[in-house]
Structure 1
Amino acid sequence: AVERMGVYLKLKQGFDFRCLRFPMVLSPSAPAGAMTAYPSHAIAAAARGDTFVMPVAPDTGMSTLYLNDVTRSIVEICSAERAALTQHAYNLHSFMFTAQDLVEAIQSRFPGFSCTFTSGSPTDDLILRWPDVFDDSAARADWGWAPHYDFDATIGALVQFANAQR
């Protein structure tokens, strides 16, 4: 609704409306109840030496961004030349990973980590409805969007934070 209102104000009143659409965002301080925060919580569990229950199937994955790229993208879209923007709203994407990819990345840093998977959960169902890759080609072309964090860099940052919290 906010996006539709922004587009309306842009078209009718000349309002400089710019919108970003984010995929799953990974954050070191993900809230406990967030359905898509399981990657951060799994890494924190591994750092504590705990087991973890993945609320998704091993092959469930989706488009993702790390929080630092999210905050930087907001500054960048606000700083972009208005004339260069060909769209009202832009999708962003950095990487796609599956729950199994996550487990392997965690186990490479915490060899004793173990977990189980949950197929058909509400979280699994939600994520399976989202695209694996958000097409962010317009953002890349119009204002030079490019993520700084890929999967490995994101996992490294999350592990570093989790280790500091122990």
Structure 2
Amino acid sequence: MRCPYCGHEDSQVKDSRPTEDGAAIRRRRQCEDCGARFTTFERIQLREVVVIKAGGTREPFDREKLMRSVQIACRKRPIDGARIERLVSGIQRQLETSGENEVQASQIGAMVMEALKGFDNVAYIRFASVYRDFTEARDFEEFASTITEAARPIK
């Protein structure tokens, strides 16, 4: 594995263990040239999933892109990183086992929305603001009111 610090081709695995959810293998490596340590993850990929963007362009599914978008929505919230990892792994697993080789980006967005709904209301609204393209404060208010009404106890 190429060292991300010096670019040397060889590194030595110092530690290897499964992640908490068992969906990946975490490997601690050390560069044989500069001695820097870094972590890699090895995941099973069941099939190549292609994402069809809103404009019709196609690109390979990028797990890290999905992870970044969920992390941004969850930023500064009391949410454990392992929970985010499980959420993203679950969505990836659903996509890979769906039997479809192509999936609409909007479908992935809907899956994230559904997962975040019971996760954290603030993260849910943050993600929705990008996914649903909120342009005004009124958009936030209207969306937030649907959450507030759904969360009210029935009298």
What's the TM-score, normalizing by structure 1? 0.26
| Higher relative contact order structure (alpha carbons within 8 Å, sequence separation ≥ 6) | 1
**Relative to total residues, which structure has the larger strand share, 1 or 2?**
2
**Relative to total residues, which structure has the larger helix share, 1 or 2?**
1
What's the TM-score, normalizing by structure 2? 0.27
Larger Rg: 2
